[in-house]
Structure 1
Amino acid sequence: MTIFMSSISGILIILVMVLIGYVLAERQWFNDEAASLIARLVTQIGLPCYMIQTIISKFSADDLRKMLPQLRFPALSMFLLLVLALAIGQLFRIKKSHRGLFTSMFFNSNTVFVGLPINQALFGDTSITYVLIYYMCNTLFFWTIGVYLIQRDGRAGQDFDWKTNLKKLFSPPLYGFMIGIVLVLLKIKLPQFLMTDLTYIGNITIPLSMIFIGLSISKAGLGKLQFGKDNLLILLGRFMLAPLLMALIVMPTTMPLLMKQVFVIQSAMPVMTNAPVIARLYGADSDYAAIMVTETTLATVLVVPLLVVLLN
């Protein structure tokens, strides 16, 4: 019961910030430009600083050398989920105009905007590097295979631009992660004033991420929520198949228990918030993607406490 209440408390911390974002959006505090600005502040400024400061302050070179090879576990999980999603799409006859988007949302998870603050609330700062290891894999899969699958649904006829998507793969958060890793491995210490700046700027990441999720839920509209076949199958994939598959992969290994817990929680995060944006860009069904972001984000509130109990 103590573990369950602790996980509920962690989720409530996140939920209050999401609710603030939702209420402010409903009161017309933000337009589309403001929402885009918040996303840019988080991904291009706050998160890179957060990653550099956290990695430098929390981990040694020996710690990182032991952890980075664990990338193979989330990579294996995502590949198997991709295969499962393709098979389920065929078996349940997901309509062709949704099949690529369905597959992408099935096997990719929101590892930063939701995964990062939830893991920090549940497990503390020690979990951050494990979160970022999963993030590296998830980013690679989404901006290559995931975007390609969404593009196939599109009706606008745009060509898939590998060069552009590879640039997005090497995003500011990933650069922040890489810079932090290099500084630790080379044992380079930054001046104290710079570390303080990184801490202050990085601290905007979690609250602004949650406010952004609240804005996204408001924009999608709670009245548009539905539970058709496509929706239920994505919920099944995100919250049952993905964590079960990850647990089966990592539990027999000798990796630290906290890393196992973080990987399982990360695998059960909601649909990527980028999915509606990419769907709109390529002429796919962006409304369908926005609804799934909303439904899976709300479902996370119920799923995560149960997962935490099962993992302890």
Structure 2
Amino acid sequence: MFLKSLESTFILIILIFAGWIMSRIGWINDDVKSFLSKVTVKVGIPALTITNFFENFSNEMLISSFKFVGIALLSMAILIIISKIISKIMKIEPIKSGSFVSMSSVSNSMFFGLPICLSLFGEISIPYIIFYYVANTVMFWSVLSPMIAKDGNNKVGNILQKLKNIFNIPLITVIVSGILLYFNFKPPSIVLKSTKYFSGLVTPLASMVVGKIIYDMDLSKYKLDKSVFAVVFMRFIISPSIMYIITRFFNLPVLATQVFIIQSAMPVMMQITIVSELYNTDSKYVAATLSITTLLSLLTIPFYMLIMDKIFI
């Protein structure tokens, strides 16, 4: 598995580098990046969800999905508690504290975690990727984004706005597909064949978006403080360690454990930068931490797979 992880990571780096090159020569600007992101999130991922729900899911797995989502939520809740304690010990500025807790607790499960897990484990891992994504989305928009808003002395949006953020197109697709599967209703063959084509867009487009993000990075503009390194420690050491302990305690299947560990060790969630900018907190601090964790994750993925090779033998 370690050699496969090296190969998969190298392939992903090639795709990301292609996005970097296209950004460098001007093919991918901010407008194109926005377009690629929308196609990935609003077309590719829903298509991937529909395809795999009716190919890889069963009613038994659907019923057990609450368990998997609950375990992911539990790990994030523990991370929130730990990061809050660290924030107080390190005396992180109030304008940064909510962002610090958010960056330490949730991961980039979509644009980074999804293509990486697909490369490492194949499409059979899709159910567990989706379970983690659901937990990640719910935790961020319901619990963590209000913390960031509070840092900027902003009023949190009303309940309708919260629900709109939580129930985005990918999550709605998960819910609708789950309902259809539960009642044994399978979409027509032409629908599933069409979604199969669109689902192939996810990994290359998401990788090119990451390439654009890396191209836009300019770490020389940011002053790194000790809390950035604390986030790195939380994301790459504490988060996967807690996930391993919890998944072993609940005796999850090996594949579910591996996917959850990789997803929990992904870089900072990109939406945190957007929300911190929206609420006038320290968005440059978030951008710097996002940049560092994104670059480091390309180095740490083979390391995680090497460890899991030794554990899951």
Q: What is aligned with 2:59?
A: 61
Letter matched to residue 57 of structure 1: E
Distance in structure 1 (CA, Å) of the matches to 2:33 and 2:64: 38
Distance in structure 2 (CA, Å) of the matches to 1:22 and 1:153: 33
Q: What is aligned with 2:210?
A: 213
Q: Is contact 2:150–2:156 with CA below 8 Å preserved after alignment?
A: no
Q: What is aligned with 1:164?
A: 161
Q: What is aligned with 1:279?
A: 276
Q: Is contact 1:225–1:295 with CA below 8 Å preserved after alignment?
A: no
Distance in structure 2 (CA, Å) of the matches to 1:187 and 1:105: 39
Q: What is aligned with 1:189?
A: 186
- Cα deviations by residue, 1:86-135 (Å, 9 ceiling, x for unpaired): 00001011122211111111101011111111111111111110011011
Letter matched to residue 298 of structure 1: L
**TM-score for both structures, normalised by structure 1:** 0.94
Please show how residues 1-312 of structure 1 align to structure 2 within 5 Å: 3-154=1-152, 157=154, 159-224=156-221, 227-312=224-309
Pair 1:226–1:124, CA change in 2 (3 A): farther
Distance in structure 2 (CA, Å) of the matches to 1:42 and 1:94: 35
Cα drift, residue 182 of structure 1: 1.8
Distance in structure 1 (CA, Å) of the matches to 2:180 and 2:10: 35
Pair 1:225–1:129, CA change in 2 (3 A): farther
Cα drift, residue 48 of structure 1: 0.7
Q: Which moved more, 1:249-258 or 1:59-68?
A: 59-68
Cα drift, residue 224 of structure 1: 4.1
Q: Is contact 2:224–2:288 with CA below 8 Å preserved after alignment?
A: no
Q: SS where residue 252 of structure 2 aligns?
A: coil
Letter matched to residue 117 of structure 2: N
Cα drift, residue 226 of structure 1: 5.8
Pair 1:218–1:224, CA change in 2 (3 A): farther
Q: Which moved more, 1:63-72 or 1:43-52?
A: 63-72
Distance in structure 2 (CA, Å) of the matches to 1:104 and 1:233: 12
Q: Pairwise CA RMSD of aligned residues?
A: 1.6
Structure 2 residues without counterparts, runs of 5 or longer:
none
Distance in structure 1 (CA, Å) of the matches to 2:148 and 2:71: 25
Distance in structure 1 (CA, Å) of the matches to 2:25 and 2:284: 22
Letter matched to residue 254 of structure 2: L
Q: Is contact 1:109–1:270 with CA below 8 Å preserved after alignment?
A: yes
Q: Which moved more, 1:4-13 or 1:83-92?
A: 4-13
Pair 1:226–1:303, CA change in 2 (3 A): farther
Q: Is contact 1:220–1:287 with CA below 8 Å preserved after alignment?
A: no
- Cα deviations by residue, 1:8-46 (Å, 9 ceiling, x for unpaired): 111112111111112221222233222111111111111
Give the number of aligned pairs. 309
Q: Is contact 2:80–2:101 with CA below 8 Å preserved after alignment?
A: yes
| Percent identity (aligned) | 29
**TM-score for both structures, normalised by structure 2:** 0.94
Structure 1 residues without counterparts, runs of 5 or longer:
none
- Cα deviations by residue, 1:38-93 (Å, 9 ceiling, x for unpaired): 11111111111110111111122123223432222111110010001100001011
